[in-house]
Amino acid sequence: MPPEPPGARHPAPPRPDGDAAVTARIEVKLAIDPAAAATTAAALFRHPAVAAIQRGRVRRARVVSTYLDTPDGRLASAGIALRLRRDGSRWLQTVKGPPLAPAGGALHARGEYEWPIPGPRLDPVRLATTPWRRQLGRALAGGELAPRFTTDVERATLKVAFPDGTRAKLTVDVGAIRAAHAAAGRRRRPLRAPVAEVGIELESGSTARLFELAAALTAALPLTVATAGKAARGQALAQGRPDGWHRPVRAQSVPLAATARAAAALRAIAVECLHQVAANAAGLVDDDDPEWIHQMRVGTRRLRSCLALAARFVPADRLRPLLAEIRWLAGILGSARDWDVFATETMPAAAAGSKADPAAAASFRRLAASVVRRRHDARAAASHAVRSTRFQHLLLAGGAVCATPDFDLKAPAVAGPAAAGPGPRAVDFARRLLRRRHRRLVRRADACAAGGPEQRHALRIAAKKLRYAAEFFAPLFDAERARDYAAALASLQDVLGRGNDAATAARLVDELAAEGDGPALAALRAWVAATTAELEPELARAWKQYAKTQRFWRKP
């Protein structure tokens, strides 16, 4: 299926029977600092942005939901959530499917089937009417379904209506998730995680209004973008991960239909890039693994590259401020990443050749203290940036841009033939782009043959831009050819990247020079020179392999 436009409510699947409420839930989620949940919730409903659009009064109820799955979490692995919910005096049975195409970052979108039931007992007949009947049926037939976790929250709900006619539902949930966790060699012990979140759910109209309200609330209250809903957090808790996050989030390929239009494809890709940035935030703040910083930095680079391609579809006054904020974040992450690489790769490699020299070894130990301090400071700056309101606004601004009608080509932002109709097909757009970037890479390679560090840097940038574009649009073309091309281009970029690491190391050595320890600095400079020289034949081999690789975007 082509990417769904995010500016309007997702079309509901066919109604299976008269009792089921079949919807596609689209909402922006924000997390509340649990320590300030009560005061934040009260202030939220008094906020001027909410007071100006509220319709009716705040309704309150206790909502208890029990999520069922197999012991190995097969439903959750397939993106399915099955729950029994008591909402006030009502009982509901609900099945949610995998995330829909608009989902990513703060935006949550899933198909949902929900039925009123007389009590807390599954109705298998209803489950058989959903698109996920096979997975549910196998779990039921095996007798494996059992409660995995429960959410118990006090919910406050307020309906809102925006001036453009968009209608939404604002909810605040405060409570807890509880799960029984089986630790190795121990009795089952209960785990608990707090729930304090805001949901702004679309009823009809434009998704962009949800982001605008979220930005207004985040500016005044201790709120952050929530990339994981209660079902995902509960599943993590059941696996023994109370914090919810597990491992750094890497880039994912976005499925694109052959009939997809360029703007819709770029929007879907941008949402995925934005999600990579947002989903690494918690780990970056709370864990020491440098991979969190690396993956968020990759996400910012990919997002910037994608949005630059979308410039013809999005008004400059909307895109330019967002790109500036992404550059701000990329700069901070880049500094932290540079010191990570220097401390964990460059220093050990350079010091290995100096172990036989006691004076040089002692010099490296003294210099290491300076490197540790600078690395700590750079990481602290990255953590501070990610905890800031500015970072939350970046994520919400990115979501708003992806949700605007012009990015979805409902109201074309450019004049002339390019704006006519639904815009160019993604496959045609991709062919022109890839052909143009390949030619630029060849020109940079020719200049690099007789040039120096500046020309090599320009070649690396051209290779990086081509690789991002190739990864973005590869799903539109033959998979095997795209895979072979990606491997050859990745090998070329790897050599160029190691050369850039050497150049970065030289710059950092110059920064450290004021702190003395000449023997270690001399050894580091020697390592940089030797590494740069060793890369020359590798670069020639990588280029030769790339040059003979078939370009996958060419027509057969």
Residues 135-185: pLDDT tens digits? 999 999 988 899 999 999 999 999 999 999 999 999 999 999 999 765 444
* Domain match, 42 and 135 both: yes
**Per-residue model confidence as pLDDT tens digits over 24-43:** 889 999 999 999 999 999 99
Question: In whole angstroms, what is the distance from residue 194 CA to residue 215 CA?
Answer: 23
Quote the pLDDT of residue 361. 87
- Is residue 336 located within the same domain as residue 202? no
Asked whether residue 375 falls in the same domain as residue 226, the answer is: no
Tell me which residue range forms the domain holding 406: 328-547
141 domain-assigned: yes
pTM for the predicted model, two decimal places: 0.90
Phi-psi region of 517 (alpha: psi -120 to 50; beta: other; left: phi over 0): left
Q: Which of 288, 269, 275, 230 is nearest to 249 (CA)?
A: 275
Residue 405 confidence (pLDDT)? 65
Q: Are strands 188-204 and 167-182 parallel, antiparallel or unpaired?
A: antiparallel
What is the rounded distance in angstroms from the CA atom of residue 413 to the CA atom of residue 411?
6
Does residue 255 fall inside a structural domain?
no
Would 266 be classed as within a structural domain?
no
| Shared-domain flag, residues 235 and 340 | no
Residue 234 sits in the same domain as residue 336: no
Pairing of strands 54-69, 81-87: antiparallel
Write down which residue in 183, 210, 244 finishes a domain.
244
Same domain assignment for residues 95 and 228 = yes
- What CATH number corresponds to the domain at position 141? 2.40.320.10
Domain count, the chain: 2
Query: Does residue 54 contact residue 60 with C-beta atoms inside 8 Å?
Result: no
Assess if residue 142 is contained within a domain.
yes
Residues 239 and 356 reside in one and the same domain = no
Q: Which of these three, 244, 268, 297, is where a domain ends?
A: 244
Return the pLDDT at 188: 61
Residues β-bridged to residue 182: 188
**How confident is the model over 440-468, as pLDDT tens digits?**
999 999 998 877 888 999 999 999 999 99
What is the pLDDT at residue 182? Answer: 53
Alpha-helical segments (H) within 229-290: 230-238, 262-279, 281-286
Q: Verify that 44 and 140 share a domain, yes or no.
A: yes
SS3 for 6-34, per residue?
CCCCCCCCCCCCCCCEEEEEEEEEEEECH
pLDDT tens sequence across 280-337: 999 999 999 999 999 999 999 999 999 999 998 888 998 999 999 999 999 999 999 9
Residues 239 and 355 in one domain: no
Whether residues 339 and 436 share a domain: the answer is yes
Whether 395 contacts 277, CB under 8 Å: yes
Of 214, 244, 274, the last residue of a domain is 244
CATH no. for residue 422? 1.40.20.10
Rounded Cα distance, 68 and 95, in Å = 10
Across the chain, what does the average pLDDT equal?
89
